[in-house]
């Protein structure tokens, strides 16, 4: 293991609302329970944009964003036993401690120390491995920070995934796929034949659609304001689509007058969360995946509670992510979850700010940023 800091190129967010700028930073070597990963590729998720826009609170910068990605282990600290240099890994952005209340209760994705460190922008020991050449400390994002050529992550944040799936696709598994498919399986527990409404079909929502299809849901109605997303949703198994507009509520009622067994909100807006609630049948469940900016409140008609509907959030697929990731990678490798088709743009690190702009404007589905085309198995493309 190299004992010295290495120079890396990484995309830094300096302040709320600022563009991401690629800089040369110093990355300190992994400590005993950490892993140094050469990043092959990373997906650009709306949660990166939320942080950059200040939606997740202040004091989070300067920071290297990126939490969805895959790469190859270059070095591992002396107490790391589950991976070795050369292993292909996907990142898990909740490196659960295994000992806190939530971990013991079987909810490692809600690990409390991991959440605290994520908020602080550090790794699990409360410190950062990232700094500028002048010594300015730089924060980590969700203990990953993979918009960079290399990153150091906690051991539990590097999940071995084998060789079956090209890394430019495996990059999407550790957030979009786990979150979307997991919300269907673990938070909603959609059963065969049940009706599902998916509101918001971007990078994550499309995986909710795939999850609903894998769960053998009956009717799967996809809602988005962008017809291009609706076409992608259809290709992943939506049985019907609806272009969102002012009358979405009425249109959905017309489609299924008795209401849906399940509705998923995958945007992060109070009005569409309310829509998910309103279109349910009695005793149906609205599962909220979208993250609303801090301070946003959601209101419901209290009388609706008599119909025993459930409203629940779903964070990170509501599951033991490290345990589920390899199986999801296998499903993708087997063609059961199509990842290539949800990638609308493949770019280099220098084009990352354009990718953030597309997300802001709602254009395209997932952008994959290729840091190392040999490892990723894919070259960046124009546009
Ligand atoms: P995205 O920007 O790729 O997708 C959002 C989709 O919503 C786009 O297809 C838009 O066209 C569509 N949309 C936007 N506004 C409306 C509207 N008013 N009516 C209908 N459709 C609309 O984002 P994403 O898929 O990367 O992320 C979606 C959300 O999920 C976002 O809030 C993100 O932060 C959150 C998320 N949550 C978790 C979790 O663990 N809960 C994990 C990852 C991402
Ligand atoms: Zn994400």
Both tokens of residue 223?
């809602």
Is 45 in the active site? yes
Tell me the torsion sign for CA atoms 56, 60, 63, 69: negative
- Look at residue 1 and tell me whether its pLDDT is greater than 60: no
pLDDT computed for residue 334 by the predictor: 96
Q: Report the pLDDT averaged over residues 118-134.
A: 98
| Contact residues for 174 (Cβ-Cβ < 8 A; gap 6+) | 67, 68, 69, 70, 90, 91, 92, 93, 159, 321, 325
Q: Which residues pair with 76 in a beta bridge?
A: 35
3-state SS record for 99-130: CCHHHHCCCHHHCHHHHHHHHHCCCCCCCCCE
Give burial (CB, 10 Å; 0-12/13-18/19+) of 293: middle
| Cβ of 267 below 6 Å from ligand 1 | yes
Q: What is the mean pLDDT of the chain?
A: 97
Percentage of the chain lying above the pLDDT 90 cut: 98
- Please, are residues 1 and 76 in contact by the beta-carbon 8 Å criterion? yes
pLDDT computed for residue 188 by the predictor: 98
Is 262 in the active site? no
| Cβ of 266 below 6 Å from ligand 1 | yes
Both tokens of residue 288?
């909220």
Q: Report the pLDDT averaged over residues 165-183.
A: 98
| Cβ of 359 below 6 Å from ligand 1 | yes
Q: How confident is the model at residue 246 (pLDDT cuts 50, 70, 90)?
A: confident
What structural domains and CATH numbers belong to the chain? 6-172+339-376 (3.90.180.10), 181-315 (3.40.50.720)
Distance CA 144, CA 97 (A): 16
Provide the H-helix boundaries in 266-351. 270-278, 321-333
Is 50 in the active site? yes
Q: Report the pLDDT averaged over residues 242-258.
A: 95
Q: Report the pLDDT averaged over residues 360-365.
A: 93
Percentage of the chain lying above the pLDDT 70 cut: 99
Q: Active site residue: 45, 111, 151, 197, which one?
A: 45
Q: Measuring CA to CA, which residue among 357, 187, 360 is closest to residue 265?
A: 187
Residue bearing the CA closest to ligand 1, atom 10: 362
Q: How confident is the model at residue 211 (pLDDT cuts 50, 70, 90)?
A: very high
Q: Count CA atoms within 13 Å of residue 344 on its CB side.
A: 18
pLDDT computed for residue 304 by the predictor: 94
pLDDT computed for residue 152 by the predictor: 98
Distance CA 271, CA 265 (A): 10
pLDDT computed for residue 287 by the predictor: 98
Is 109 in the active site? no
Q: Report the pLDDT averaged over residues 188-194.
A: 98
Distance CA 200, CA 226 (A): 9
Is 82 in the active site? no
- Look at residue 347 and tell me whether its pLDDT is greater than 70: yes
Q: Is it true that the peptide bond before 62 is cis, omega within 30 degrees of 0?
A: yes
Q: Measuring CA to CA, which residue among 378, 381, 380 is closest to residue 167?
A: 378
Q: Report the pLDDT averaged over residues 142-156.
A: 98
| Contact residues for 375 (Cβ-Cβ < 8 A; gap 6+) | 38, 40, 41, 71, 72, 167
- Look at residue 243 and tell me whether its pLDDT is greater than 90: yes
| Cβ of 224 below 6 Å from ligand 1 | yes
3-state secondary structure of 141: coil
The best mutation among 244, 267, 269, 287 to test binding of ligand 1, ranked by most ligand atoms within 8 Å of the C-beta, falls on 267
pLDDT computed for residue 245 by the predictor: 87
Write phi, then psi, for 135 (nearest 5 degrees). Answer: 95, -10
- Look at residue 383 and tell me whether its pLDDT is greater than 80: no
pLDDT computed for residue 382 by the predictor: 62
Q: How confident is the model at residue 18 (pLDDT cuts 50, 70, 90)?
A: very high
3-state SS record for 162-201: CCCCCHHHHCCHHHHHHHHHHHHHHHHCCCCCCCEEEECC
Both tokens of residue 78?
């002396």
pLDDT digits (tens, 9 = 90+) for 277-294: 999 999 999 999 999 999
Eight-class DSSP state of 350: G
pLDDT digits (tens, 9 = 90+) for 67-114: 999 999 999 999 999 999 999 999 999 999 999 999 999 999 999 999
pLDDT digits (tens, 9 = 90+) for 307-320: 999 999 999 999 99
Ligand 1 atom nearest to 200, measured from its CA: 7
| Cβ of 47 below 6 Å from ligand 1 | yes
Region of 124 on the Ramachandran plot (φ > 0 left; ψ -120 to 50 alpha; else beta): alpha
Residue bearing the CA closest to ligand 1, atom 29: 290
């Amino acid at each position: 293991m190299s004992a010295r800091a290495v120079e890396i190129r990484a995309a830094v967010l300096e302040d709320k609302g600022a563009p991401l700028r690629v800089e040369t930073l110093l990355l300190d070597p992994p400590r005993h329970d950490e892993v140094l990963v050469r990043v092959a590729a990373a997906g650009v998720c709306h949660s990166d944009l939320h942080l950059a826009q200040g939606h997740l609170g202040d004091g989070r910068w300067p920071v290297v964003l990126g939490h969805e990605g895959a790469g190859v282990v270059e070095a591992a600290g002396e107490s790391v036993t589950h991976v070795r240099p050369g292993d292909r890994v996907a990142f898990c952005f909740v490196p659960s401690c295994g000992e806190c209340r939530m971990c013991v209760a079987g909810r490692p994705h809600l690990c409390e120390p991991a959440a605290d460190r994520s908020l602080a922008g550090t790794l699990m020991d409360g410190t950062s491995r990232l700094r500028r050449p002048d010594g300015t400390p730089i924060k980590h994002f969700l203990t990953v920070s993979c918009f960079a050529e290399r990153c150091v992550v906690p051991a539990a944040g590097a999940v071995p995934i084998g060789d079956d799936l090209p890394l430019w696709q495996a990059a999407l598994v550790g957030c979009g796929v786990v979150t979307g498919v997991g919300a269907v399986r673990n938070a909603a527990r959609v059963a065969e034949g049940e009706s599902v409404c998916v509101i918001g079909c971007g990078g994550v929502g499309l995986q909710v659609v795939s999850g609903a299809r894998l769960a053998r849901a009956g009717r799967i109605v996809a809602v988005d304001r962008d017809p291009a997303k609706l076409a992608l949703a259809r290709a992943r198994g939506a049985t019907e689509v609806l272009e969102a507009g002012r009358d979405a509520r009425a249109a959905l009622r017309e489609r299924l007058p008795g209401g849906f067994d399940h509705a998923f909100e995958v945007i992060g807006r109070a009005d569409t969360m309310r829509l998910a609630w309103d279109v349910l049948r009695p005793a149906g469940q609205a599962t909220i995946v979208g993250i609303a900016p801090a301070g946003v409140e959601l209101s419901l008609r209290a009388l609706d509670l008599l119909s025993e509907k459930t409203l629940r959030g779903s964070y990170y697929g509501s599951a033991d992510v490290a345990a589920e990731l390899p199986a999801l990678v296998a499903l993708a490798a087997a063609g059961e979850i199509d990842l290539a088709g949800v990638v609308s743009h493949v770019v280099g690190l220098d084009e990352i700010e354009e990718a953030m702009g597309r997300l802001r404007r709602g254009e395209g589905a997932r952008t994959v940023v290729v840091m190392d085309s040999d490892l990723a198995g894919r070259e960046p493309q124009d546009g």
